[in-house]
A and B are shown apart, each in its own frame.
Chain A
Amino acid sequence: MKGILYSRQKLQVVLSIILTFSSLTLFAQERVIKGNVTSAQEPLIGANVLIKGTSIGTLTDFDGNFTLTVPNNETTLIFSYIGFFTEEVYVGSKSIVNVSLNEDAEQLEEVVVVGYGTMKKSDMTGAVNKVQMDDIPQRPAANVEQLLQGQAAGLQITNSSGQPGSDVSVKLRGVSSIQGDSSPLLVVDGFPMGNAGNLKQINPSDIKSIEVLKDASAAAIYGSRGANGVIMITTKKGTSGQMKIDFSSRVSLSTPPNEFNAISDPAQYAIIENEGRVNAGLQPFYVGETYQGTYYPSVSEIASGAWGTSTDWPGMIYRNALAQDHNLSASGGSENTKYYFSLGYLNQEGISLSDDYTRYNIRFSLDQKIFRNLMGGFNVIYNNTKKNSNFVGGINRSPVFPAYNENGSYFFISGQDFYHPLVWANEVLNHNKGQDFISNMYLSLKIMEDLELKTTMNIKSGNGITDYYEPIGMTWSGAEFNGFGNISNYNDLDLLSETYLNYSRRFGEKHRINAMAGWSAQRYSVRTSVLTGKGFVNDNLENQDLNSAENRDITNSYESNLLLSGIGRLNYVYDDRFLVTGTIRADGSSKFGKNEKWGYFPSVAVGWNVQNEAFLENSDVVSQLKLRASWGQAGNQGLPAYRINERYGTGRYPNPAADGTFATGFGPAVYSYSADGIYKVWEGMANQDLKWETTTTSNIGIDLGLFQSKVMITAEVYHKYTSDLLRREQIAPSSGYDMMWVNDGEIKNTGVELSLDLALIERTKWDWSVRGMISRNRNEVIDIGNSDNFVWYGGTVEKFRTPITVLMPGQPLGVFYGYKTDGIIQTYEEGLEAGLSGSRARPGEIKYVDVNGDGVVDANDRTVIGDPNPTFIYSFNSRLRYKNLDFSVLLTGVHGNQVYNNTKFDGAATLQRWTPDNPTNDYPSLNSSRAYEASDFWIEDGSFLRVQNINVGYTINSENIKWMDKLRVYTSIDNPIVFSDFQYGFDPEVGGDGIHWGNYPMPTTYSLGLNVSFK
């Protein structure tokens, strides 16, 4: 504690230097004054009392009393309290100053952050969810998106990997864009930071509130990037008064799942492997012979115990992992100057060996009144992340073989055993370091009472370095090149300048308008390079001296784009009853074709505050009733730069001299690797017609508050229609290209959202509130491609040699496509009858269905076999307080979606295979050379209900402890249980494509934490 106090003093010293605009405090004629602050004869607890022109002040106590030392008689005190008009009192010779504050009805009302300004909640016409960070249970998370799980209706956050520091998938109201930017735009204090997924730059504990803008009326002001909704993040700022210090700390332990889809018994494993080979007509391995340098014991040798080795691979790969998270902030200020300073530290171990993630955040923000009508300020953020990631899986590695040889070296099963999990964990270097520097500056000039000009300049500069090395001979690249190392550099710069005018005025009794107009220019550029060395003398230096490599390889890239925009908004409120909002944004993007650069995105919305009508004025039941309707358009420009240009590729061919030198060629088609890193994907054809993708959204909403708002219900119905879809289309490979970017296709999303807030108990001793949300989104592809059938959506899945998701008119987005199956073939005749032939008709094979009935099972029989889109998603949050003890639980669920489970016939599942003695219809026979077709055999129900977090805390509010304001200690469990019918695999929560690959498992996490506020 001494350390904290010390640093607090130190901070004050630093801050007093920084606050150059504050006046000097004179200590002559010091004296103590007392007083009392009330409102309508009631004491105001915690009201702010500040000496004008300084940062010296205090707060009123439980009886509204305060005591303050003032420097002299020429002192003016400022009394302020949220929701009340601020009062200034000249002290003079008074020793007791009693003040009564008057309520400011407008200020008391909740304010909602919208693009380029704020609005009173009662004036809002759009569909906006506000999330107060204080209402979210405290739980470990590497980014704020994870914390938003279950916090806003229609917002689906999918966390498909338990790897520390990994991204999450964020979808708002389904998917209306299919490639590039399909998640909402994140805007932090007015600065668009890109797509939601991993906002590592902002420390979650620095966030005050989050607004989710869902409909076009709210999001269209972000024009070209608002099509998938906008998430507005407001960070904490200083408030005038004494310095407030907050400290929070948490330690967590994550444990891997109890069960894995793996065979742990080595004899069983060998039987399964042998059977697969024998059924394929191949020589079995586990017969007591040597193959490719490895002796494979026979099954009897293993079963009798003569072999003696048995390796528990899941136990070797996974571990209990520790995490810690500490945050410190200091804030305060005077009437003219407000500051906020924070430090954050997060360190998470992964449950997979050698994985970890560390994040540091520093933030300083300052708001300064420069002149009477001029405000200015800045916000500086620095963050630093470090990540080691070496996960390769490997739970299904043969338990017959040891991890190490007797001499301690790694045991490799064959010459091409390049996936030894411990080699990857311990010997491969994959270390990423990232830094971001963000600076936001603003000036705000009150030109007239009603007219304000704001101009901002924002800079975000990020860089990342990945150090990578695969040692000689132990991994694919290490063996191919005799050691493979590289350094990947990444550097981006985002500049945004915005200037806008805000005009707000009341005309007469009943008319209010609020208008905003301005422009914005944003340039984004990113530069990368990868320096690779191949072929090293030994592994000692890893990638530290790439120049010592036998071969060196360099790639570099740069891309840049510019967005110019004009924005405008007009709100009109009549008698606090009728609301109209119109917005327009024009965006010009350098990414699009010559004649297609500009896009115009309008919106209009109306609202009716029914509770302000005379007939509801005296209602005991209805305390709030608002009806809203909106229409508008927003866009999407989520594609890489230069897709309007033809891009040539390059390749080398040996020179005629055959002397080891090469000639360099250029020409059509350039490749990149597919997502799984296996196939080259050729691209580079220009498309000069590329233009904005446009989403038109209509929304009808109702906000209903009953019984003094103890019951709050919000319901929304929406219809989103996206046209000119931007997508990377698979084209005929005979063209010499595999993919190209096109505007093609239309998608419709319709849905309803319902959220219910109940304040069941609100008493001194007891508080109990419950919040439930449910949303349903129906997604339909209206038109796609020039073929009347379908186009491929995802990339090729190696196991099936084909993509497995498609876009097909009349179907939801990304449905699974392949063969229908009808159990397992039991006799050869049955197979032939089903239209199969050759080895595919044998007993024990999957019985694919001849859908078109032409007597042959072939590609024409493929059809839609499943849908990864949920019917509805829901969440439930209950918060209970008894005196100082609090308890909360958060549940999230997804229902009605299907998952394509690639691991369905792996590991333990293979024990239930078809055999002549076990003529099951659930699993085929084992066959190690079977070519599986994409089929509904692999599809499972992906519905689940997850207990996301259970949190128990105890709060000490102590008036008796001088230095402390509040202390809360808590313990929590994250992901203790998942209810689902999903078989064997780790977890049914999979990425957006609905395909389960056997990813990084989700741990269960136990935490212990404390929050303390100092005064």
Chain B
Amino acid sequence: MKLAIKKILLSAAAALAFSSCSLEEDPYGFLSNDNFYKTAADAESALVYAYSVNSDIEYYSRHFIIATEVPTETLTIKPDAGADQHALDRLEVLNNNKIVEDMWRYPYLAINRTNAVIQNVPNTPEMDDTRREEIVGEAKFLRALHYFNLVRFFGEVIIREEQVSSVDQVNKGVSSIEEVYNFILKDLTEAEAVLSTERVYGRANQVAVWALLSKVYLHMASAKNTGVQGYEWVSNADENYTSAANYAKKVLQDQSTYTFENDLMETWNVSNRATAREHIFVSATDRGGLIEGEYTKLPMLFMPWAEGAPQVVLPNGTTIPGGGWEHLWIEDDFAANYEESDRRGTLEMIVNKVTIPEGGNDGADLELVYPGGGLQATFPMKYLDPDMVGQQATCDTPILRYTDIMMVYCEAIGPNSETYALLDQIRGRAGLSPLAGGMGIQEFRDYILEERGRELAFEGKRLFDLRRTNSMEKVLGDQYGKPMTSGIYYFDIPLIEVDTNPEIN
């Protein structure tokens, strides 16, 4: 009966003047698995999509920096910022905090894109095999990076090895921290095998893999060494310190693409970003983009409001087109932590005054300073684009930096003449005298933790450094007097995941 009706209907419909009467509608305006991954260009494009999520507002271009710096002693936020950011500042982080939710959602969004690459590109016909393997290797590096972020933010997380493309794949339970680390190490080891050291701006290569491996091993080693809850399974801290040192050493010695930049400011010069010596891996942006994520507003978060002046001159003579939002403020206690002669703590890196040309009453230049007149706080020189258009900036978020890896090496190896020399090199760039030497291993590592705070400030490293060294209470509580109630070593898995995924209790 049903069939008969259908037949009658279809034949009747066929008589119509309509262009098509098939109930199969051709998709319009979007690609899908069916018509993608067919050419080398498709494979490259799939990889581009995996990279592009890094620069989204919700990830490295804004929220990652807020989530990793605001809870620590380095940054606070302006009074009229959102309640979630204030909760992060107080470390009173509930599981419905939207910034933290993004630290869950965006890595997974990115992981799904990398999984699509890892799954499909090996089957892409007619493409260069070397490039094919490289693309898969880059995707594995990215997947490892996102899992490393997830495990550091949340601890036990869900491992997803396959692109989610049907509903039965959606709900899945968490794996142990150990399993997550094994997964990360497997991805990185496989990526290491297929990538070269050739530098490609904004993309990952073998050096980035080494650098990330060194950080992963150091995280495990130091967490085990200092008794961080959740890392009891790590068999031996020293073995992991050794692995960390080995990979850091590869970065320092087995390649010549990246090296120590002697000029303190050059690393932050956006016009030379593609050749900057220190940036092993960044999330890339360009002011010529169409939406935020292609360009970034990261500088706007730091730059002073400056009374809406069209031009603001910084103490080093750099002119920036207009002020920013003065949203993230350097904490006074943190700025006071720099030695007087430390160039990183002075006007060169931490700015407390700007000049508005002819901004005064009688046409004179107007100076705004903090404290006392016109500025709410100091701001760093790390995120600036003198050529920004409107609010659209070129300003990459550093993810792996050479100096970071130097310090990873030093921390892993412990005190010896080589590591003292490396640390003195970093100190020397900041205008500081060499270390006296003679530190014990713990003292040495404690010093490095402090030095990392000063050197890598505002770069999205601080929360993880404090967490992996079990020093949240010691540093934030005891030293800086921050009240902390929740989300100290791990953030809770976001409520939205708990509410929708029955595999999570």
Contacts and interface: CB of A to CB of B under 8 A. Distances in A.
A837 B112 CA distance: 38
B84 A931 contact: yes
Interface in B14-40: 16-25, 27-34, 36
B263 interface: no
Given A560-B25, A802-B96, A293 B305 contact: yes
B91 to A, nearest CB: 10
A930 B83 CA distance: 6
Contacts of B113: 667-669, 736
B172 interface: yes
B502 interface: yes
Interface stretch (B216-224, B228-236, B287-295, B423-431): B287-295
Interface string A117-142: 00000000000000000000000000
A733 B274 contact: no
B23 A645 contact: no
A226 to B, nearest CB: 18
A656 B501 contact: no
B499 A641 contact: no
Interface string A496-513: 010100000000000000
A653 B390 contact: no
Interface string B165-202: 11101111000000000000000000000000000111
A74 B159 CA distance: 94
A838 B87 CA distance: 11
A687 interface: yes
B498 interface: yes
A663 B5 CA distance: 51
Nearest to B294: A652
A654 B49 contact: no
Given A479-B390, A736-B111, A651 B52 contact: yes
Interface in A676-702: 679-680, 682, 685-687
A415 B308 contact: yes
A670 B32 CA distance: 11
Contacts of A789: 499
B32 A645 contact: yes
A556 interface: yes
Interface in B88-105: 90, 92, 94-98, 101, 104-105
B33 A646 contact: yes
B29 A664 contact: no
Contact of A735 (B33, B112, B116, B201): B112
Interface in A798-833: 800-802
A519 B498 contact: no
Given A645-B32, A665-B47, A801-B96, A660 B8 contact: no
Pick the most buried of A521, A647, A668, A931: most chain B CB atoms within 10 A of its CB: A668
Contact of A663 (B32, B44, B166): B44
A599 B354 CA distance: 70
Interface string B392-427: 100000000000000000000000000000000000
A660 B385 CA distance: 14
A734 B58 contact: no
A662 B294 contact: yes
A742 interface: yes
B389 A653 contact: no
A499 to B, nearest CB: 8
Nearest to B501: A732
A687 B32 CA distance: 13
Interface stretch (A77-85, A147-155, A276-284): A276-284
B13 A686 contact: no
A685 B164 contact: yes
A519 B13 contact: yes
Contacts of A670: 30
Interface string A610-646: 0000000000000000000000000000000110011
Contacts of B32: 645-648, 686
B325 interface: yes
A670 B29 CA distance: 12
For B18, B46, B167, B486, the residue with the greatest tally of chain A CB atoms inside 10 Å of its CB is: B167
A742 B500 CA distance: 14
A641 B290 CA distance: 28
Contacts of A787: 499-500, 502
A416 interface: yes
Interface stretch (A583-591, A706-714, A973-981): A583-591
A656 B47 CA distance: 13
B55 interface: yes
Contact of B92 (A293, A553, A791, A839): A839
Interface residues of B, number: 119
Interface stretch (A338-346, A352-360, A561-569, A890-898): A561-569
Interface string A545-571: 000001101001111111011100000
A200 to B, nearest CB: 27
B48 interface: yes
A380 B31 CA distance: 40
Contacts of B454: none
A566 B9 contact: yes
A649 B294 contact: no
A8 interface: no
B323 A415 contact: yes
Interface in B58-105: 58, 79-80, 83-84, 86-87, 90, 92, 94-98, 101, 104-105
B160 A680 contact: no
A660 B286 contact: yes
A932 B86 CA distance: 13
Contacts of A929: 79, 83, 86
A788 B109 CA distance: 26
A404 interface: no
Nearest to A527: B28
A654 B202 contact: yes
Nearest to B158: A734
Contacts of B287: 660
B2 A600 contact: yes
A479 B12 CA distance: 58
Contacts of B58: 680
Nearest to A292: B305
Contact of A481 (B16, B306, B390): B390
Contact of B28 (A293, A481, A495, A559): A559
B27 A733 contact: no
B108 interface: yes
B391 interface: yes
A653 B23 contact: no
B390 A282 contact: no
A17 interface: no
Nearest to B170: A735
B274 A652 contact: no
Max count, chain B CB within 10 A of own CB: residue among A521, A535, A789: A521
B494 interface: yes
A730 B500 contact: yes
A737 interface: yes
Contact of A653 (B42, B52, B288): B52
B374 interface: yes
B132 interface: no
19 contacts: A562-B21, A645-B32, A647-B27, A652-B289, A653-B202, A654-B294, A656-B200, A662-B294, A666-B36, A686-B165, A732-B171, A787-B500, A787-B502, A792-B500, A801-B84, A801-B101, A802-B495, A838-B486, A928-B79
Given A480-B391, A562-B25, A652-B294, 11 more contacts: A282-B79, A481-B390, A521-B16, A648-B31, A653-B202, A660-B287, A668-B164, A686-B165, A733-B104, A801-B101, A838-B485
Interface of A: 277, 280, 282-283, 290-293, 414-416, 479-482, 495, 497, 499, 519, 521, 523, 534-535, 550-551, 553, 556-562, 564-566, 586, 588-591, 597-598, 600, 641-642, 645-654, 656-658, 660-670, 679-680, 682, 685-687, 730-738, 740, 742, 786-792, 800-802, 837-839, 859, 928-932
The 10 A-B pairs at the shortest CB distance, nearest first, are namely A736-B112, A665-B49, A665-B48, A667-B49, A658-B274, A732-B501, A293-B307, A931-B83, A660-B288, A282-B79
